[in-house]
Amino acid sequence: MNQIQMSQNSSFSLISTKKIIQMSDVWTSYDSKNFALEGINLSIDRGTNYSIVGPSGSGKSTLLKLMNGMMIPSKGIIKIDYVTPQMNNKKFKKMMHTIGYIPQSLGLVKNISVIENILLGSLPRLTKVQSLFKKFPENEITEAKRIIKLVGLSGKEERKVYMLSGGEKRRVAIARALMQKPTILLADEIVSELDNVTAREIMELITDAQKTMNLTAIMVHHDMQLALEYANRVAVIKEGKKILEIGVEGDNIVDFQTGDMTTQEIMEMYSDDA
Ligand SMILES: Nc1ncnc2c1ncn2[C@@H]1O[C@H](COP(=O)(O)OP(=O)(O)OP(=O)(O)O)[C@@H](O)[C@H]1O
Ligand SMILES: [Mg+2]
């Protein structure tokens, strides 16, 4: 963690870069009539696993789109590593490639191979000519093969993506994001629709990658239990508002947002939403 110490009247105050994502009173809309998100406040620590859970249409995907600059807020402040995520912001453009975004649809190119899809993650590091002709240098091919092994796709390097299972496609999407050497991974429902065993395998894979790469993972989930199992914090979104921010402490589920709800109250509140 980078830390800058400042002397102030002989006492010390600490400016820390611990927070990697900060949102303050963020509102956004797709049209002039309705807000998709209202008054969102959140603060995410570097290196943690943060989950977003909520009913369909509550604004989870919209929240991720705000974090990678695909959408801009109508009101409020967003900082990603202290930079405002807007495509016309030069600082953000420079750091954009360090945000690995896996959309709900995965965004894979189905009629090219596994390794070709994964290599796309290295495009920002290539020269213009290499990028134009998709001429990947040897070191990037070696790195892609290393990641293929890491995500458990050895032997399937040359297989076209449309020939893969749902779980395998998700592994390719994760591998392509890891190929970017990201500091932040945004994954939108990457384990929804998978069986329990495969979902946990994928979550373990992300947890391992997080530890080795000091990655901050922000993941949208449908399954509250799975979210609580893996995440340090879970934001619960309902009708565009963040209603809870919870996490497991010992045997209890704690609400860090209001700080005064019991585990039972939280579970009752969540079951009303589900
Ligand atoms: N491109 C769009 N144009 C207009 N409205 C949109 C658009 N995308 C989303 N919305 C609306 O914004 C709200 C939040 O949508 P969002 O996709 O963020 O929900 P979600 O929580 O991700 O849902 P799901 O669990 O079904 O993926 C919804 O009311 C949705 O209809
Ligand atoms: Mg969504």
User: What's the 211 CA to ligand 2 centre distance in angstroms?
Assistant: 26
The rounded Å distance from CA 221 to ligand 2 centre is: 9
Q: Which residue has the tokens 């890891």?
A: 178
Contact (CB, 8 A) for 157 and 218: no
Distance between Cα 204 and ligand 1 center (Å): 28
* Ligand with an atom nearest the CA of residue 53: 1
Residue 36: nearest ligand to its CA?
1
Q: Which CATH class is domain 49-64+98-273?
A: alpha beta
Question: Tell me, what's the pLDDT at 43?
Answer: 94
The C-alpha torsion from 103 through 105 and 107 to 113, rounded to 10°, is 130
Tell me which ligand sits closest to the C-alpha of residue 188: 2
pLDDT of residue 270: 67
Strands 19-28 and 184-188: unpaired
Q: How far is the CA of 36 from the centre of ligand 1 (A)?
A: 7
Task: Return the domain boundaries, the chain.
Answer: 49-64+98-273
- The tokens of 190 are what? 């990457």
Between the CA of 114 and the centroid of ligand 1 the distance, in Å, is 30
Torsion angle of C-alpha atoms 62, 63, 69, 73, degrees rounded to 10: 90
Nearest CA to ligand 1 atom 5: 30
Residues with a CB atom less than 6 Å from ligand 1: 30, 36, 54, 56-62, 104
Going by CA atoms, what residue is nearest to atom 14 of ligand 1?
59
pLDDT in tens, the chain (274 residues): 444 433 343 344 444 478 999 999 999 999 988 999 999 999 999 999 999 999 999 999 999 999 999 999 999 999 999 999 999 999 999 999 999 999 999 999 999 999 999 999 999 888 888 888 788 999 999 999 999 999 999 999 999 999 999 999 999 999 999 999 999 999 999 998 888 998 999 999 999 988 888 899 999 998 999 999 999 999 999 999 999 999 998 888 888 887 777 777 777 766 644 4
> Which helix (DSSP H) or strand (DSSP E) does residue 185 occupy?
strand 184-188
Contact indicator for 220, 51 with CB cutoff of 8 Å: yes
CA distance 245 to 198: 27
Burial (Cβ within 10 Å: 0-12, 13-18, ≥19) of residue 3: exposed
> Among 76, 21, 55, which Cα is nearest to 218's?
21
**CA dihedral over 7, 13, 16, 21, signed as positive or negative:** negative
* 182, two tokens: 């990201």
Sheet holding 216-221, edge to edge: 99-102, 184-188, 216-221, 49-53, 233-238, 241-249, 252-255
